[in-house]
Amino acid sequence: MTTEAFSRMQPFVLKALTAVKRRHCAAPNYAPDAPVADQIACPKCGGRLNYTVDTKGMTSARCASAGCVKWSLQ
């Protein structure tokens, strides 16, 4: 992820990313014991935001709505 990409990250992405990290990447391991695939309500459109978390704590997500919140490996 480049610095430029981060600066253009939308507030909704940061909000959803924070929610996922809080749920699955808490101290002390900052990563789940097993890979996670789940969904939360999209903070932007209220739709389904499907996400995955690997055992290194890297998360990827994509909203069910086209052109909405998504990110990979953050």
Compare residues 36 and 45 and give the one whose CB is closer to Zn ion: 45
> CA 12 from chain center: how many Å?
10
Residues between 5 and 64 with contacts to Zn ion, criterion CB under 5 A: 42, 44-45, 47, 63
Compare residues 15 and 32 and give the one whose CB is closer to Zn ion: 15
Q: Which of 14, 25, 36, 68 lies at the binding interface for Zn ion (CB under 5 A)?
A: 68
Tell me which amino acid residue 29 is.
Answer: N
Q: Where are the alpha helices (DSSP H) in the chain?
A: 3-7, 11-24
CB 7 within 8 A of CB 45: no
Contact residues for Zn ion (CB under 5 A)? Answer: 42, 44-45, 47, 63, 65, 68-69
